[in-house]
Amino acid sequence: MSQRPDSNGPATSLHAELLEQLREYIAEGNLADGMRIPERILCEKFQISRTPLREALKVLAAEGLIELLPNRGARVRRLSERELRELFDLMGGLEALAGRIACERISEEEIQRIEKIHQEMYFFYLRKDLHEYFRRNREIHEAIVRAAGNQSLSDMYTAVYSRVRRSRYTANTVKETDRWSAAMREHELILDALRRRAGAELSEILFMHLRNKFIASTGQMPDIEDVSETNSSKAELRLIGD
């Protein structure tokens, strides 16, 4: 097969396109967790030979989306509770970083654009339109990450998010709604800190925002071991989330 002489858009390589397709295919949950994925099936599905497929699988394995057992093929990596918590914290850390840098670099116009999305979000919050609310919610978080103007950070954030996306815990439904008003309040704080360009503060809020979402989603506490109560972070954890 040549380089897709027909029907192709940009002149990107076949391998890159395949990778993109596969990533999407897996992230969307078309393959059951932990299920074995025979190369043959994917080859037929994407009309491609084993060589480029195997290259793509190696990359996806490095990204953590699938796992490759020697001589036993690929399977979709199933996230343990532990890994999910790890990835949530990681995402929180990356957003915190993005928020901090964004405060240094973001333009007034971009702040206004985020404010606009925020107001839309508030509107859908009042309307109790969960779907549209979450879309705006996601847009705000993405905008903050983008506003940091750090491509490496954005890439890493996307990679982490794509791993977490599959998880049923992130489905933004029932349990999350209990926390809806709290989340909305946190978003007010986020925007306020951003307006004031208070980097450290925004950083703090964003991290806790993600933590609270994790706690609400899973019921799990992010593993705080027996640590003396002089510990300030425990207090902070409650400070925002209501």
Partner DNA sequence: CAGCAAAAAAATGAATGCAACTTTAGAATC
Partner DNA sequence: GATTCTAAAGTTGCATTCATTTTTTTGCTG
For residue 230, what is the DSSP state? T
Q: How far is the CB of 198 from its own copies (least distance, A)?
A: 6
116 residue type, one letter:
K
CA distance 187 to 156: 23
How many residues lie near its own copies (CB under 8 A)?
A: 56
Q: Which does 238 bind (CB under 5 to 8 A by kind): its own copies, DNA, none?
A: none
Rounded distance between C-alpha atoms, residue 110 and residue 224, angstroms: 37
152 binds, among its own copies, DNA, none (CB under 5 to 8 A by kind): its own copies
Cβ neighbours of residue 221 closer than 8 Å, sequence gap 6 or more: 215
Within 13 Å and on the Cβ side, how many CA atoms surround 237?
16
Residue 103 binds: one of DNA, its own copies, none (C-beta under 5 to 8 A by kind): its own copies
User: Taking CB under 8 A as the rule, does residue 150 contact its own copies?
Assistant: yes
Structure tokens at 152: 């490496």
Q: Which of residues 5-24 bind its own copies (CB under 8 A)?
A: 11-13, 15
Distance separating alpha carbons of residues 159 and 143, to the nearest angstrom? 16
Number of H helices, E strands in the chain: 11, 3
Helix (H, G, I), strand (E, B) or coil at 224: coil
> What's the DSSP call for residue 78?
P
Q: Whose Cβ is closer to DNA: residue 39's or residue 110's? A: 39
Amino acid sitting at position 222: P
Shortest reach from residue 229's CB to DNA, in Å: 49
Residue 152 engages its own copies in binding (rule: CB under 8 A): yes
Of 188, 194, 181, nearest to 143 (Cα)?
Answer: 194
Question: Facing residues of 69 across strands?
Answer: 73
Interaction partner, residue 138 (its own copies, DNA, none; CB < 5-8 Å by kind)? none
Asked whether position 138 contacts its own copies by CB under 8 A, the answer is no
Q: Binds 182, which of its own copies, DNA, none (CB < 5 to 8 A, cut-off by type)?
A: none
Interface residues with DNA (CB under 7 A) are: 1-3, 5, 13-15, 36-40, 48-52, 54, 68, 70-74
Which of 77, 100, 166, 179 forms a contact with its own copies (CB under 8 A)?
Answer: 100
Binding footprint of its own copies on the chain (CB under 8 A): 11-13, 15, 51, 54-56, 58-59, 62-64, 70, 83, 86-87, 89-90, 92-94, 96-97, 100-101, 103-105, 149-153, 156, 160, 196-200, 203-204, 207, 222-225, 227-228, 230-234, 236
